[in-house]
Structure 1
């Protein structure tokens, strides 16, 4: 049921939602779209991943979310490659019978993507390039689930 896409190309959030959650017993759709921030003068971010492994890891957590919250539909899109500040980096959409399940499942998926999904991020700014380190608050957010 859930769909996972890891892609280099930009995506249009509105177009992705056309027909999302159609049919079934959907009463709520929750979405989140992440944007590349330009903090600290960052000029671009590059994201690396291992094709196949990354999709499989995300598909596993999507299946867990679908089972736990009884989702009717689920979509995760995550980009890789070079992106400039202001570009969309990822999107999560969940559809369920009730809003609480849609919101909680989306938040769970976002917490997982932020802290555990197998992506490696490098930021380029005025002082050169640096790999983005894991943050304690991201791990704390995931631990509540």
Structure 2
């Protein structure tokens, strides 16, 4: 028990320093007044990966960076920019990693081909297994 208390006391300053003292961006957690614009912004935010969390979309992440990206998306949508243009700008700035739907190109083709290849291999393994069972019965 003493170990856990000592650990908690040791880690408290580290955890406190990890929290940003900067207030969140203006539109990071505030919806746009226009419901149609907010729907476009939300749809786009669901398809963008948080650069800090990497496993969550910016719509779901609590990271400061995700909040800044949500605010940026909402500001640009409110200014009349199209979601496709915002996505293209973010991909240009942060790379294909920022999107959950990477384009098919020379670098990403293995990501698209691997599931198909695994299905083909699985089908051959299953076929061989069924053949052996059929002969053994």
TM-score by length of 2: 0.23
- Structure with max Cα Rg: 2
TM-score by length of 1: 0.22
Which structure dedicates a bigger proportion of its chain to strand?
Answer: 1
Which structure dedicates a bigger proportion of its chain to helix?
Answer: 2
More contact order relative to length (CA 8 Å, sep ≥ 6): 1
